[in-house]
């Protein structure tokens, strides 16, 4: 096994990103089409928001080796489509034996796992949610909209 130097990243809380990330991507409201139950509310919000970012992900992958721990930061805009809060697209791991940790730095939200909701509140104190292997994770915002 080839040994490498450990990767080091810094979470810039004020900017909501991972400094030293190897990857960055954004999702606009248009990228989330078909995911929300209220299609009319979605269309109206898509016109209102245009190309505004709903969420952005920065992550660090130490290498392309299988089993490497990937570290990522997601910054999510608060908002709702109809009665649903904004959420990430979620993902399925290629290998089901890859556990995942979700840590909320600020705001309020939850982590959805399959059909179950595992609350992960980070207001007022930071908290973390551990998803067991084989889970499908999706994060939501839950900021009160006035």
| Tens-binned pLDDT, residue by residue, of the chain (146 aa) | 677 787 788 888 888 888 989 999 999 999 999 999 999 999 999 999 999 999 999 998 888 887 778 888 888 888 999 999 898 887 766 776 766 777 777 777 776 655 445 554 444 445 556 566 666 665 665 543 33
Residue 56: half-sphere exposure toward Cβ, Cα within 13 Å:
13
CB 40 within 8 A of CB 64: no
Q: Which domains does the chain have, with CATH numbers?
A: 10-141 (2.60.120.10)
Helix (H) or strand (E) holding 40: helix 39-49
Alpha carbon distance 104, 73 (integer Å)? 10
Whole-model pTM?
0.75
Residue 64 CB neighbours (<10 A): 6
């Amino acid at each position: 096994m080839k040994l490498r130097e450990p990767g080091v990243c810094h979470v810039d809380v004020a900017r909501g990103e991972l400094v030293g990330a190897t990857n960055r991507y954004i999702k606009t409201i248009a990228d989330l089409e078909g995911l929300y139950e209220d299609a009319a509310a979605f269309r109206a919000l898509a016109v209102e928001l245009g190309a505004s970012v709903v969420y952005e992900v920065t992550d660090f992958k130490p290498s392309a080796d299988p089993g490497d721990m990937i570290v990522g930061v997601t910054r999510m805009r608060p908002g709702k489509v109809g009665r649903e809060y904004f959420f990430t697209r979620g993902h399925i791991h290629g290998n089901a034996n890859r556990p995942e940790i979700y840590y909320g730095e600020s705001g309020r939200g939850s982590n959805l796992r399959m059909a179950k909701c595992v609350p992960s509140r980070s207001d007022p104190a930071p908290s973390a949610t551990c998803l067991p292997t084989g889970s499908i994770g999706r994060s939501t915002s839950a900021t009160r909209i006035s």
